[in-house]
Amino acid sequence: QSVLTQPPSMSAAPGQKVTISCSGISSNIGNNHVSWYQQLPGTAPKLLIYYNNQRPSGVPDRFSGSKSGTSATLGISGLQTGDEADYFCGSWDSSVSAVVFGGGTKLTVL
Amino acid sequence: EVQVVESGGGLVQPGRSLRLSCTTSGFTFGDYSMSWVRQAPGKGLEWVGFIRSKTYGGTTDYAASVKGRFIISRDDSKSTAYLQLNSLKTEDTALYFCTRVQDYSDGIGYYVYYSDYWGQGTLVTVSS
């Protein structure tokens, strides 16, 4: 069981918007920053969001991140079939001096 | 262009050891922390541990599941990080990714940690 909680799967139609939640506690999300990773089928994870809401260069602004208290959210608007992937959230956990990840959310674009 | 390439994976018997290498290029290796993350077949990501840059003491932190068995080290002269896997168990079977890490305090007490570049991974299979 993962320390951070994500919905195992979500689906939406092309063009729609989806929000993926990531729930933690004070020692991780509550007091540290959150990052999000996209893993396309058969590939390595790729950084999507860092510092809660910052996009690396090259990541489209269709992807957004936010954090409130002990929860974080990844938003993807204007869904495309190429967005079908697993999405993971991650954060440092100060109580165990380790990085914790969510279990991942498999996004299907119908 | 930043490149991260893992090597050294393979089939190993339970209780044996293996050393993975992470060769990098395209950035000043010594300025960065490096981490290892693994992914069991069909499962999610599991952080294994990381090593800070020499500027921050070159210290390491590990996940509880591998502490005392795995050792991360680095050779800045070769721009390479290593993961020594000892006393391997069947549950250590996974694809092992090496990542470049950005880690710092944001100035108001919050810690920023993320992996901005990932290798393609090297597969470790522990089986008799």
Residue-wise over B58-70: b if at least 16 C-beta within 10 A, else e? eebbbbeebeeeb
* Whether the predicted pLDDT of B107 surpasses 90: no
Distance of alpha carbon B107 from alpha carbon B96, whole angstroms: 32
* Whether the predicted pLDDT of A1 surpasses 90: no
- Asked whether the beta carbons of residue B116 and residue A56 sit closer than 8 angstroms, the reply is yes
Contacts of A100 in chain B (CB under 8 A): 47
Contact A93, B64 (CB under 8 A): no
Contact B45, B52 (CB under 8 A): no
Put simply, the chain B residues between 81 and 100 with a CB less than 8 A from any chain A CB are 97
Amino acid B119: pLDDT: 98
Phi, psi for B91 (deg, rounded to 5): -75, -5
Give the confidence band of A59 by pLDDT, cuts at 50, 70, 90. very high
* Whether the predicted pLDDT of B109 surpasses 80: no
Mean pLDDT of chain B: 96
- Asked whether the beta carbons of residue A98 and residue B63 sit closer than 8 angstroms, the reply is yes
Structure tokens given for B54: 């020499």
- Asked whether the beta carbons of residue A44 and residue B102 sit closer than 8 angstroms, the reply is no
Amino acid B104: pLDDT: 87
Q: Which residue of A has its CA nearest to B116?
A: A47
Amino acid B105: pLDDT: 85
> For B43-97, what is each residue's pLDDT tens digit?
999 999 999 999 999 999 999 999 999 999 999 999 999 999 999 999 999 999 9
Output the CA angle B65-B71-B73, nearest 5 degrees. 140
Contact with chain A for residue B64, Cβ under 8 A: yes
List the one residue out of B29, B68, B65 whose CA is nearest residue A96.
B65
Instruction: Taking residues B28-49, report their average pLDDT.
Output: 97
DSSP secondary structure string for all residues of B3-38: EEEEE--EEE-TT--EEEEEEEESS-GGGSEEEEEE
Phi, psi for A81 (deg, rounded to 5): -60, -30
CA distance A93 to chain B (A): 9
Contact with chain A for residue B61, Cβ under 8 A: yes
**For a pLDDT cut of 70, what percent of chain B falls above it?**
100
